[in-house]
């Protein structure tokens, strides 16, 4: 699925099942909440924290999808074409960071 298709699918869902978009500010708060939930799982799966009894690493993909969902909602609400934005961002990073990471001693292979 292309990003444009994902944006269209989310928009269709919002308009038929979700009734309407939450306000942009509400969605920004929800995005922050979802990123926090993702961070909690990352800290437990890859960091030093352990899972609580009702938590599972199996939720990782679902939490990532929640983040993507809300980001797509915000893009739709603000008129951002994520396909174009991502393409331009990749071009920017490619030009800006062409040699940057290769020259970073911290990333040198052992």
Per-residue model confidence as pLDDT tens for the chain (110 residues) = 999 999 999 999 999 999 999 999 999 999 999 999 999 999 999 999 998 888 888 899 999 999 999 999 999 999 999 999 999 999 999 999 888 888 888 888 76
CATH of 3-81, one of 1.10.760.10, 1.10.287.3610, 1.10.287.1080, 3.90.1150.10: 1.10.287.1080
Q: How far is CA 78 from CA 41, 43, 74, in A?
A: 29, 32, 6
Contact 3, 80 (CB under 8 A): no
- pTM of the complete model: 0.87
User: Tell me, what's the pLDDT at 110?
Assistant: 63
Within 13 Å, how many C-alpha atoms sit on residue 79's CB side?
A: 0
């Amino acid at each position: 699925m292309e990003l444009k298709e994902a944006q269209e699918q989310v928009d269709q869902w919002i308009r038929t099942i979700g009734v309407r978009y939450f306000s942009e500010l509400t969605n920004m708060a929800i995005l922050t909440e979802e990123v926090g939930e993702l961070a909690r799982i990352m800290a437990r799966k890859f960091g030093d924290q352990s899972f609580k009894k009702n938590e599972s690493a199996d939720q990782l993909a679902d939490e990532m999808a929640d983040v993507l969902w809300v980001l797509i909602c915000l893009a739709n609400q603000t008129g951002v074409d994520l396909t174009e934005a991502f393409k331009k961002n990749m071009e920017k990073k490619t030009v800006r960071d062409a040699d940057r990471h290769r020259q970073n001693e911290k990333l040198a292979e052992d």
